[in-house]
Amino acid sequence: MQSTHSITETEERIVLCTPYLEIGFSKKNGALNLLCPPGADGNWIGHGEPIATLDARLGTRWLGTEHAARFLAHTIEPVTEGVKFSVSVELGPLRLHDVYTISGSLIERRIVVENAGDAEVQLNGVRLIVPWACISAPDGCRFEAPGTAVRPRLPLAVAARERLGRSPSEEFAPAAPARWGLAMEDAPDCTPGLLAVHHAASSETLLCWYSSEVEAGTPRVDGNGVAVSLIHEPILAGWLAPGRSLAGGSQFLLLHHGSWDEALSAFRAHYQRVGILPPLYGCPPAWVREAAIYEVHPGQFSGFRGLAEALPRLREMGINTLYLMPIWTYDNRNGQIWDENWTGSGSPYAMRDFEQFEPTLGSGEDFRHLVNEAHRLGMRLLLDFVAQGCALDARYVSEHPEWFCRDEAGSLVSSHGWIDTYSFDWANPDYHDYMLGWSLRLLCEYGFDGYRVDAPHGKEPNWDRRIPYHASATNLGVLRLLERLQKGIKEINPQAVLLCELFGPVFVKSHDLAYDYLPCVQTYQLLQQRLTPWEWGEWVRDHFASLPEDAVRVCFVETHDTRSFQPPAYGWRGSQLSRAGFAALLLAGFVPMIWSGQEQGQEDFYRHLLRARRESVALREGERLFNAVGCDNEWVLSIVRRHKSEVVWGVINLWPEKRTHRFEFPVAELGLDFQARYRLHDLVSGRDWHEYGQTAWTGEELARCLLTPQPFVPYFFAFAGDRHLGGAGHLDRIRRSKR
């Protein structure tokens, strides 16, 4: 895209003008200090004390705390997509090149770090800042960070109270304590990395996000009481000799006019531009959308044979997919079968040998019997693919020391807090070849249905001076391995899949479906009344809207990891709250997953819920409508699912006492007939609803109806035409289609 542009310079500022935006920089320190559409009523940034907008960390210290940046020069050149503008600044021993490629109202910003000194430096991160954002009047703005733990529809004034380096407040991100104190996790492996300021009255939005397939970046905010700085910290690291340089990932800025929904749609176009969509393999196999997953370690059933014996019970409950935690020899500290004691028995993820089955679980033939029995029952089986590391005494430590990450002193390191493992270097090509060969050979030999990829989020740099690449190349280096793995398993079996434990957008490219921890975490905030049902609905709606469209996402209220990041999960097992949370996630459109043991004593509940989902296309694939149904009590959750003529209205009363509520149902918008009469058929219980003797409602009555749902009990109402009183029934059509 060729665009005309002009440059205006004063003693203090350089301003680049295009038909789509104005962007300006300080001639004192090179800081970005002007950004707005042409002719806008005021600057969209810079609403506070002028600050430097680039920083770099050498070792453990940020240079900006010790040195003032100094403007050196700027360059401008036309490019195919628009215009490229570069600002160079001096910061301590570094020369930082702040490079902006402008295409229409979209800006791609990259930083190049050059060592301008006469001694080697250890670069350990950079910081890109969009300073003090605010559009028009502050009280008309809100801050949004979809796909993170941040509360939705947040007044800008609340975000402006957050300070860099401080723990996030509960008003800003109530779920942060459940995510290691983080309001916003790294992008693009854990979150979209999207930060936005939206002004509803003028329909203006400033969107800012980070993208890379080499190093992740950490989103942050810093407020001054009025406005908020939008910050990304790419994990760019390496030893830099004098004259050497490193370039990091991209921070994107988009100036958008339109509604918030339209702004999110414009943001999603990013996934096509950078190649995340379409996926490498095309569409996922159809069966993944119908999956009901059971996470299990065979040790919980006395080994492979014991788990095989339990499969008919699980299948009858509605489970059709098994995911097995690691089944290979590991740091078994007592020689017994694993009993969920992560300290006394050891972690199955601290593996000693990928080639050997854990003997306490059974033999290779026992495992083959388990796979065959699952397939006989029409079930699929996935194994854990653990790329992160191996046990401290694994054979690979001595056989392949070059496969591992090291600290500055050359010692092996642990990653992701796993102190019982050493961390593999994800950028090492020989390690890739081994893992690929082993995993595909295993798939061919035993014929299971794919892998669940464990913990592929960005890891610490590899400071080994012998590697031929920079230290942070290991950060997201696993992506190339996973792309090769996906292609390899599809060549063996097109119906085999990769399930990713991580939920960031970058993994959609190489996976068929993905875990989603954050909806689980936000659901616990809902159940503890730290988020209202309205806020939860808006959060989930934006969560889906900010991630690649049509990506299949898995959710849960328990996994083997909820013991650490969400303490209430085990304590609430079997409670009405836990059941209500699971039902809300299923109703919201996630593929359900149950952690082994969670179902004990609750089999009927899960059987009914999974049956309802299995028999309703709307629940599996339908459009999601959050907050479309009004209620006179804010603690009643309503979600409508719609697929063609099938409409399902889900209601979960989170108010702790039985009482009658008034609902306002959008009859016309959902294609119901005001004159027809309908029965409310609950897909969970299989019974029609009776409201103190009333058994049918006209569409007009449904527009303002009184219902008395029991507290914490999920109801999935299908609209069935009353055969005695006329009216075309959605449920009747569903039944006819099955004959």
The answer on 259 and 298 residing in a single domain is: no
> pLDDT (tens digit, 9 = 90+) per residue, 682-700?
999 999 999 999 999 999 9
The answer on 627 and 480 residing in a single domain is: no
The answer on 261 and 399 residing in a single domain is: no
Please identify, among 515, 536, 555, the residue that sits at the C-terminal boundary of a domain.
515
The answer on 468 and 321 residing in a single domain is: yes
The answer on 459 and 489 residing in a single domain is: yes
The answer on 298 and 264 residing in a single domain is: no
Beta strands in 492-611 (DSSP E): 497-500, 513-515, 552-555, 591-595
> pLDDT (tens digit, 9 = 90+) per residue, 500-545?
999 999 999 999 999 999 999 999 999 999 999 999 999 999 999 9
For residue 729, the model assigns a pLDDT of: 42
Kindly indicate the confidence band of residue 549, based on its pLDDT and cuts at 50, 70 and 90: very high
| 308 has a pLDDT exceeding 70 | yes
Residues of the chain with pLDDT > 90, as a percent, come to: 93
For residue 368, the model assigns a pLDDT of: 98
| 737 has a pLDDT exceeding 50 | no
Residue 593 lies in a domain: no
Residue 610 lies in a domain: no
Mean pLDDT of 665-675: 94
> pLDDT (tens digit, 9 = 90+) per residue, 444-487?
999 999 999 999 999 999 999 999 999 999 999 999 999 999 99
The CATH number covering residue 124 comes to 2.70.98.60
Mean pLDDT of 540-551: 96
Kindly indicate the confidence band of residue 727, based on its pLDDT and cuts at 50, 70 and 90: very low
Residue 383 lies in a domain: yes
> pLDDT (tens digit, 9 = 90+) per residue, 20-46?
999 999 999 999 999 999 989 899 999
Of 716 and 729, the one with more pLDDT? 716
> pLDDT (tens digit, 9 = 90+) per residue, 102-134?
999 999 999 999 999 999 999 999 999 999 999
| 736 has a pLDDT exceeding 50 | no
Instruction: Please give the C-alpha separations between residue 198 and each of 105, 136, 163, 460, in angstroms, as whole numbers.
Output: 16, 10, 20, 34
> pLDDT (tens digit, 9 = 90+) per residue, 153-202?
999 999 999 999 999 999 999 999 988 899 999 999 999 999 999 999 99
The answer on 86 and 190 residing in a single domain is: yes
| 70 has a pLDDT exceeding 70 | yes
The CATH number covering residue 692 comes to 2.60.40.1180
Which DSSP category does 456 fall into? Answer: -
The answer on 103 and 30 residing in a single domain is: yes
Count structural domains, the chain: 3
For residue 571, the model assigns a pLDDT of: 86
Residue 527 lies in a domain: no
The CATH number covering residue 390 comes to 3.20.20.80
For residue 567, the model assigns a pLDDT of: 59
Which DSSP category does 726 fall into? Answer: B
Write out the residue range of the structural domain in which residue 45 sits: 6-273
Greatest mean pLDDT among 1-10, 110-119, 558-567 lies in 110-119
Mean residue pLDDT of the chain comes to 95
Kindly indicate the confidence band of residue 566, based on its pLDDT and cuts at 50, 70 and 90: low
Kindly indicate the confidence band of residue 3, based on its pLDDT and cuts at 50, 70 and 90: low
The answer on 354 and 466 residing in a single domain is: yes
The answer on 189 and 126 residing in a single domain is: yes
Q: What gap in Å lies between CA 106 and CA 207, rounded to an integer?
A: 10
Instruction: Please give the C-alpha separations between residue 237 and each of 188, 211, 214, 504, 730, in angstroms, as whole numbers.
Output: 17, 16, 11, 22, 58
The answer on 154 and 126 residing in a single domain is: yes
Q: pTM here? A: 0.95
Residue 425 lies in a domain: yes
Q: Helices marked H in 378-512 — which ranges?
A: 395-399, 429-446, 478-492
Mean pLDDT of 78-95: 96
Residue 376: which residues within 8 A CB-CB, separation 6 or more? Answer: none
Residue 523 lies in a domain: no
Q: What is the number of other CB atoms lying within 10 angstroms of the CB of residue 104? A: 15
| 624 has a pLDDT exceeding 90 | yes
| 600 has a pLDDT exceeding 50 | yes
User: What tokens were used for 523?
Assistant: 């659901």
| 739 has a pLDDT exceeding 80 | no
| 715 has a pLDDT exceeding 60 | yes
The per-residue b/e assignment along 16-50, b for 16 or more CB within 10 angstroms, e otherwise, is bebebbbbbbbbbbbbbbbbbbeebeebbbbbbee
The answer on 335 and 256 residing in a single domain is: no
Q: Helices marked H in 82-235 — which ranges?
A: 156-159
Specify which residues 677 forms β-bridges with: 698
Q: Which amino acid is at 370?
A: L
| 738 has a pLDDT exceeding 80 | no
Q: Helices marked H in 558-681 — which ranges?
A: 562-565, 568-571, 576-587, 603-615, 617-621
| 735 has a pLDDT exceeding 50 | no
Residue 554 near residue 593 (C-beta atoms within 8 A): yes
Residue 485 lies in a domain: yes
Residue 558 lies in a domain: no
| 565 has a pLDDT exceeding 70 | no
